[in-house]
Amino acid sequence: MQYRTLGRTGIKVSPYALGALMFASSIGNPDHEDSVRIIHKALDAGINFIDTADAYGDSEEVVGKALKGRRDNVVLATKVSRPMSDDPNEQGASRRWIMKAVENSLRRLGTDHIDLYQIHRLDPATDVEETLSALTDLIRAGKVRAVGTSTAPASDIVEAQWVAERRGLERFRTEQPPYSILNRVIEREVLPVTQRYGMGTLVWGPFAQGLLTGRVRKNQENTLRRAAFVKHVSDERRVDAVEQLIPLAAEAGMPMTHLAMAFAVAHPGVTSALIGPRTMDHLDDLLGGLDVALSDDVLDRIDEIVPPGTEIGSLDQDYVPPALRDVRLRRRPLSERAA
């Protein structure tokens, strides 16, 4: 395993990071002991970075159980801000909620500190200075080592960096955006910005939520579990692109999963790509691609299918700014609309 530095934190992490969403009983592997075995095998293979979130059901408890006796050798990341109940104050990025949520995560993880604490989604209702101030206090208290964001637009990343500098606060050290062969839009602004500020970038969704596993083919039944509730995995434009990538992977002598992961970690702005195995077989397949490096010819062919900085379709989980979500922010009152 060739470890990479997580931005300018000095922390060394593996290019493959273990995402723990699939260890949540309700949506992933229902067998805690099996999940623990999967985590242990990933650690034994040299993966030293585990990423989870408070909103991932019982994932934090499973990860905490797996790390007993091995915590010191793992870079542990979790997230906050997604709703944890119907209470409007048990979500978001306010100081009030962050201070409570971090204690809950520490308890579930069975640890006294979190190596990387990330804001799952920036909260437009909370001043970023308020969020950074709370996170700064957690770092000074020794409960958190570094802080980051997830799926933040480039403009918000820049604003947060400037606020941290002006106010003397800890700054976001990482960003966790979606990135795959089919979703390359972060190459346009997000990756250049994170590189400019020396941030680590931990990409999620390198398999485009299952489309880049080779299991989805044109004019065949889509057997992905997500197909029942996620629209983009049935997008014909995306499936057409996959049909061009499958023979490319075959010519390169590798399965689609290896092509997808090798692409994700080849970008100089990407520190690690998150894998989310649900079973031991899934993990074994992915570990088989650790030594794969894509040639310039293969990367050029990928650029022809999906040009740099573009995406085919859009993810259901894509960030949608308030200005687009809230109709009131894009329509004047009726009485003011006429010229």
Query: Which residues does the annotation mark as catalytic?
Result: 56
Question: 226-245 in b/e burial notation, b at 16+ Cβ within 10 A?
Answer: bbeebebbbbeebbebbeeb
Q: Give the pairing of strands 12-13 and 4-5.
A: antiparallel
CA atoms within a 13 Å half-sphere pointing along the CA-CB vector of 62: 31
Question: What's the distance, CA 107 to chain centroid?
Answer: 23
Name residue, tokens 């573009």: 310
Rounded Cα distance, 276 and 293, in Å: 20
Contacts of 163 (CB under 8 A, 6+ apart): 128, 129, 132, 169
Q: What is the Cα–Cα distance from 268 to 145, expressed in whole angstroms? A: 24
